[in-house]
Structure 1
Amino acid sequence: MDFFSFLPEPLVLAILSFLPFKEAVARTCVLNKKWLNIWQSGNNIDFNEKFFVYSTSDEFKQAQRKVFINFITNWIAHFSNREISKFSLTVSNPQACRDAIEGCVAFAMQRGVKDLNLDFSEPKWDENHLGDQGTLLFQLPSIGYELGSSLESLKLYSCGFGTDNFVKFTALKDVSLSSIEVSTETLRTLLSTCRTIESLSLEKCWNLENFNLGDKPVGLTRLMINKCDSEYFILNAPNLKYFKYSGAVFTSDIYVRPNVIEEVYIDFSLESEFYERGNELCKILKDFAAAKILTVCSYLLQVVPSGDQPVRTEIDLSVKHLILKTQVHPHEFCGFEFLLNSCSMLERITLDIGQRAIFSDEDYETPVSGIDLKKFWQSCRVIPECLRRSLKVIDVIGSRTTDEELMTLCFLMLAGKVLEQININLCDENDVGVNELRRGRARLLTNAKKASEKLKISID
């Protein structure tokens, strides 16, 4: 029996709304002819060139691209719904189909779209030379500003825009920009013109070496920056709750309100050389000292001890959940200890274990001469306060049960007086024998000495 025939149309639309647009179009029509027209009534639309253009031949690519543009035109002509919630368009070489793109933007805006995503980036671009592609940019059509009063989220990839016109986006809260030139002056104008913006994401943008938004407060609650190579970072964001940065080490002067900032993610894994940048890293940590959740990378663990302060003492962080992107390598131990000493109120540690960039013995500089890093935890001089008073949970993700991992966990168990739970998630390999060996090594921890009688160990 065909049960789909008995479903009311609103319920079918609800089902379709949970499917990717490609699935809703290409597959549901096979189930029942009724769905041929229903999928055109949905309010989440995603036109992606990759669904149509996949040939390696330039001649076939052009033909497939023409089919794609015709599909968009016909789809819009037969669309039956008056309003749409989300509209996404992904197409390369937008100059060759300007009319179709402008038609799409007009179509979305006329129906009060709330989430607009335009991606005109070229898959073949080298992210290290994105600045060379500036001449290929496509500008957001003027109708996008004129009818954008209902827009709440705007994502532009390789798509230029005019900051002065953002004053017409009276409901805009979320802006994402990628693969375009964005100066700090542009960002200042953008945030001062459209004061409703709360979330800003920048990815692979150039001309942002000096990320200086000045002393004037900005209203952002979320800020994400990925691979923009900023060298200086000046920011006054008293409402900021979430900060995520991936790129090069920067010199910081950042103000966030202590009772507002919640989570900070810092990733300097793109750095390839060891420099004594410990002072800069400490300043960044101090700027975000009030964050409750802190994620740091292996680079920070290896380099932060190279500063003047970490060798002698610690800094005061309010972190309750510390997440380490680590390989649990001896070169990371000094940085790990420094963070343990700095987080006196720490309640949870997550060791996210994977293959990280570890500096060679020749490049890595031990902060204390004469120390044997392989026996680092056995010679730990001072027990961090968090291990004596607050740390309750340790999560290990992707465990390979190396000697370094087991020694680290044994130290935490022996010093953690209030530990309640250690959750070990083993790295799953295709080799059954390797998996069993790791499981056996992990079970050794159940017989290791522990300071807390409440401690339970789970192995998955």
Structure 2
Amino acid sequence: MDMFSELTDALIITIISFLPFEEAARTSVLSRRWRGLWRSTANIEFDERFFVRDNVPVETQRVQRLEFINFIRCWPHEDTAELVLRRFRLRMSKPREFESDVQMCISFAISRDVGALELDFSDPTWDENDMENHEPEFHLPMQIGMPPLESLTLFACSFNPALLINLRSLKHVSFGWIAVRMSTLNDLLRNSTCLESLRLKKCWNLEHLSIFERDLALKTLVIDNCNFHRECFAVEAPNLRSFKYSGSVGNFELLFTRHLEEAELDFGSESEFDESGGELLQTLLSSLDCARVLKVYIKCLRNYDHVHQVVPTGEEPLRMQSPLNVRHLILNTALHRDEYWGIAFFLKSCPFLETLTLQMSPPRIFPDYQPPFQFDPSRFWSGNIERLYRCVLRTLKVVEVKGFQGTVNETRLLRYLLYNGRAMQELKLYLSNEADGHGGDRSVYFQRAVFVMGFPKASPNAHVMII
């Protein structure tokens, strides 16, 4: 029996509203009855990138952008008059060319009492790792009366800070590609007592970061490559669950409770090696000692996170005063010899580690970096009792290598982990899809993975999976 035929249109629209907008549009081909139902979805996403392609001539892009605008203009119709929107997203570049259409979209969303409003006018050609500031592409008019929003996202869209005063029901706020002052954030935190997540991406004009509000409900804090006048970060957030930071190493004073579950660190924006970075990073890691998941990686493969290089610098090799509570450690690494001491540092500092994920990426090596000790790379992971770390011997169960190519450095570390990992259960090798420049491809990587399967294992339960 076709059970969908027994459902009312209202119930089908409710189901469609839980689908991503692009998937909701595809339901129009199911039958004549479904052809127009998706247009009443409570989850609207007008995304220019569904229409405009990157790899086409500029004139073709102009035609595609006009098709996108015409699609928007035809959207409001009689079936949406009583629609209450759960989420409305408008994502387009160059909004100044179609300002009246943008105003129409915003008015349409607000008149439907939208719960989550997302306006993204950033240009996909902007470089996220470039510290250049871009003028906002659109200014949100002050005269627009906002509904009781729960979520607000403004990218490359400036606004009057007074607009936030009456938005007391906000739970999620994201600002990107705009100038934001610390006073604006303080007003937001003070007025929006229900705020659970705050995300800042490529924002500038921030003097520093200072968050101290009583009874703060904040659970997620994301700082993504923002431009601060001073790299000073002081945060007291008793309910924080997730902390993610991308940018330069700075002075961190983070006062969290034991609720922190996940921490993510990305120092790929560093342009030069700084010997003081190790001590600063140690202070930051000490603040994150209760996190169960620690990610140390970068998002852009063109820049390599040098955290593995700066950790063991300073007057003496760094040692954590107290062990980290990390159960899952994710490291973006090329397994270059200059990273060995940093990797060893994390293994030593995570005595309860259960899962280790290595995300392989091209190295970004500092030419003036000197390792803290002279050592033989070929013997670093073998024959040295000092590197029989507690987690490797007792708790490490799963090791994942994403982007496996079977290089010498990869096989050295994997041999060490298998030979000493008494609790090891799984070694997952995800083969790289990239050529290594020396004739290596997936077939070659597979043969090298088979070679790893023959390594001696301390645990009889250890299985090697090739994926």
In the alignment, residue 261 of structure 1 is paired with which amino acid?
Answer: L
When residues 401 and 344 of structure 1 are mapped into structure 2, their CA distance, relative to the original with a 3 A threshold, is same
- C-alpha deviation, 1:404, in angstroms: 0.7
- In structure 2, the residue matched to 1:266 is 265
After superposition, give the CA deviation of every residue in 1:177-211 in whole Å (9 maximum; x if it has no partner). Answer: 11100122211111111111110111111123522
In the alignment, residue 317 of structure 1 is paired with which amino acid?
Answer: L
Matched, 1:454 2:458: no
- In structure 1, the residue matched to 2:369 is 364
Matched, 1:378 2:382: yes
Task: Identify the range of structure 1 (4-13 vs 136-145) with the bigger mean alpha-carbon deviation.
Answer: 4-13
- C-alpha deviation, 1:58, in angstroms: 6.4
Q: What secondary structure is seen at the aligned counterpart in 1 of 2:222?
A: strand
Contact 1:13 1:41 in 2 (8 A): yes
Q: What secondary structure is seen at the aligned counterpart in 2 of 1:352?
A: strand
- In structure 1, the residue matched to 2:90 is 89
- In structure 2, the residue matched to 1:279 is 279
> Equivalents in 2 of 1:417, 1:48: separation in Å?
51
Give the alignment's TM-score, normalised by structure 1: 0.87
- In structure 2, the residue matched to 1:245 is 245
When residues 124 and 412 of structure 1 are mapped into structure 2, their CA distance, relative to the original with a 3 A threshold, is closer
Q: What secondary structure is seen at the aligned counterpart in 2 of 1:417?
A: coil
- In structure 1, the residue matched to 2:423 is 418
More helix per residue: 1
- C-alpha deviation, 1:312, in angstroms: 6.0
> Equivalents in 1 of 2:393, 2:66: separation in Å?
67
Give the alignment's TM-score, normalised by structure 2: 0.86
- In structure 1, the residue matched to 2:300 is none
- In structure 2, the residue matched to 1:171 is 169
Matched, 1:289 2:289: yes
Contact 1:330 1:374 in 2 (8 A): no
- C-alpha deviation, 1:218, in angstroms: 3.6
When residues 78 and 310 of structure 1 are mapped into structure 2, their CA distance, relative to the original with a 3 A threshold, is farther
- C-alpha deviation, 1:325, in angstroms: 0.9
In the alignment, residue 257 of structure 1 is paired with which amino acid?
Answer: T
Q: What secondary structure is seen at the aligned counterpart in 2 of 1:274?
A: coil
Query: Of 334, 339, 345, which aligns to 2:352?
Result: 345
Task: Identify the range of structure 1 (277-286 vs 427-436) with the bigger mean alpha-carbon deviation.
Answer: 427-436
In the alignment, residue 182 of structure 2 is paired with which amino acid?
Answer: T
Contact 2:142 2:163 in 1 (8 A): no
Alignment length, in residue pairs? 449
- C-alpha deviation, 1:429, in angstroms: 5.0
> Equivalents in 2 of 1:341, 1:352: separation in Å?
19
In the alignment, residue 352 of structure 1 is paired with which amino acid?
Answer: Q
- C-alpha deviation, 1:126, in angstroms: 5.2
In the alignment, residue 138 of structure 1 is paired with which amino acid?
Answer: H
After superposition, give the CA deviation of every residue in 1:382-439 in whole Å (9 maximum; x if it has no partner). Answer: 2212222222221222211111111111111222222222222222357997333322
- C-alpha deviation, 1:364, in angstroms: 1.9
- In structure 2, the residue matched to 1:184 is 182
Contact 1:94 1:138 in 2 (8 A): no
- In structure 2, the residue matched to 1:325 is 332
> Equivalents in 1 of 2:78, 2:451: separation in Å?
65
- In structure 2, the residue matched to 1:37 is 36
User: What 5-or-longer segments of structure 1 have no aligned partner?
Assistant: none
> Equivalents in 1 of 2:6, 2:274: separation in Å?
67
> Equivalents in 1 of 2:421, 2:23: separation in Å?
50
After superposition, give the CA deviation of every residue in 1:146-183 in whole Å (9 maximum; x if it has no partner). Answer: xx21x221111111233344343243211111110012
> Equivalents in 2 of 1:398, 1:64: separation in Å?
36
> Equivalents in 2 of 1:420, 1:392: separation in Å?
5
Contact 2:131 2:227 in 1 (8 A): no
Identity %: 37
**CA root-mean-square deviation:** 3.1
- In structure 2, the residue matched to 1:388 is 393
In the alignment, residue 373 of structure 1 is paired with which amino acid?
Answer: P
- In structure 2, the residue matched to 1:199 is 197
- C-alpha deviation, 1:100, in angstroms: 3.2
- C-alpha deviation, 1:131, in angstroms: 2.6
Contact 1:178 1:204 in 2 (8 A): yes
> Equivalents in 1 of 2:170, 2:362: separation in Å?
39
Query: Of 440, 445, 452, which aligns to 2:452?
Result: 445
- In structure 1, the residue matched to 2:115 is 114
In the alignment, residue 133 of structure 1 is paired with which amino acid?
Answer: E
Q: What secondary structure is seen at the aligned counterpart in 1 of 2:174?
A: strand
When residues 67 and 174 of structure 1 are mapped into structure 2, their CA distance, relative to the original with a 3 A threshold, is same
User: What 5-or-longer segments of structure 2 have no aligned partner?
Assistant: 298-304
In the alignment, residue 222 of structure 1 is paired with which amino acid?
Answer: T
- C-alpha deviation, 1:56, in angstroms: 4.7
> Equivalents in 1 of 2:118, 2:218: separation in Å?
20
> Equivalents in 1 of 2:355, 2:449: separation in Å?
20
When residues 13 and 214 of structure 1 are mapped into structure 2, their CA distance, relative to the original with a 3 A threshold, is closer
- In structure 1, the residue matched to 2:223 is 225
> Equivalents in 2 of 1:17, 1:313: separation in Å?
49
Query: Of 146, 151, 154, which aligns to 1:153?
Result: 151
> Equivalents in 2 of 1:118, 1:212: separation in Å?
26
Q: What secondary structure is seen at the aligned counterpart in 1 of 2:179?
A: coil
Contact 1:292 1:320 in 2 (8 A): yes
* Deviant stretches of 4+, over 6 Å: 2-7, 430-433
In the alignment, residue 211 of structure 1 is paired with which amino acid?
Answer: L
> Equivalents in 2 of 1:67, 1:407: separation in Å?
55
